Chains A and B, each alone.
Chain A
Amino acid sequence: DSGVTQTPKHLITATGQRVTLRCSPRSGDLSVYWYQQSLDQGLQFLIQYYNGEERAKGNILERFSAQQFPDLHSELNLSSLELGDSALYFCASSLGNEQFFGPGTRLTVL
C-alpha cells in the first residue's frame, strides 16, 4: 500500500460525458502528478501540482483539467469524453524525487 488513494476504482460512462477522478496523496506529500496509461501509448505524464499550484503540464488535452485543493487532494476532470479516453488514470505523490503511485482509476468510455 503506497498510501496514495484514488477513487473511484472503475468508471464506465458514455461519450460526451464528464467525469471527475479523485486522488488523495500520502500524508505530507506536497506534489501530485496525474498520468494516463492507454494500451497504445503506454504511460504518459499529464500534469503536476505542487502545494496547490500547477507546476508542470505534459500531454494533457484541453478537455481535461485538474486542480489541487488546500488539503492537498487533487481532482482530474475529463469532459466531452471520447472512446479514446478509455484508459487507466494514475495519480502519484511525492515530497522529494521518488513518486508513490495510487492504484489507478480504470475509465471506460462506451
Chain B
Amino acid sequence: KNEVEQSPQNLTAQEGEFITINCSYSVGISALHWLQQHPGGGIVSLFMLSSGKKKHGRLIATINIQEKHSSLHITASHPRDSAVYICAVRSWVNYGGSQGNLIFGKGTKLSVKP
C-alpha cells in the first residue's frame, strides 16, 4: 500500500469545468505539497500547506489533517491546465530514510479539452 494515494489516476474534462483531485495519506505529516508536471517534464510547486486552505488564481488547495486528506480544485478549467498533478507529503517519521523529506503520490493526469 502506498503511503500517498491520489484519485483519480486520469481525468478528462471539458474547458470551463470545475475539477477536483484528491490525495489521501497514511503517515503523520508536517506539510503537504501539490506539484504540477507539464508534458515537457518540468515540475512546478503549486502549494505547500499544513492546515486549512490556500488559493492562487483559479487553483484552490485544502487539507484536513484529522482525516489525512487534501484536495486540489481547479475552477474554470482551461486546456493549459492539462498536466500531471502530484501530491507529496513531508513525513514526520523516518520512512525509508526520508525523514522530513517528500513522499510522492503517483500523480493524476489531467486533460482539459477545448
Contacts and interface: CB of A to CB of B under 8 A. Distances in A.
Interface of A: 2, 33, 42-45, 48, 56-59, 88, 90, 92, 97-101, 103-104, 106
A57 B97 contact: yes
Interface stretch (B59-67, B68-76, B98-106): B98-106
Contacts of B98: 45, 56-59
Interface residues of B, number: 25
Interface of B: 30-31, 33, 35, 41-45, 48, 86, 88, 90, 96-107
A56 B100 contact: yes
Contacts of B102: 33, 43, 45, 99
B41 A100 contact: no
Nearest to B4: A42
A2 B44 contact: yes
Contact of A42 (B33, B43, B100, B105): B105
Nearest to B101: A45
Contacts of B107: 42
B48 to A, nearest CB: 5
B41 A97 contact: no
A56 B31 CA distance: 17
Given A45-B98, A59-B98, 12 more contacts: A33-B101, A56-B98, A56-B100, A57-B97, A58-B96, A58-B97, A97-B90, A98-B33, A101-B35, A101-B43, A101-B44, A103-B42
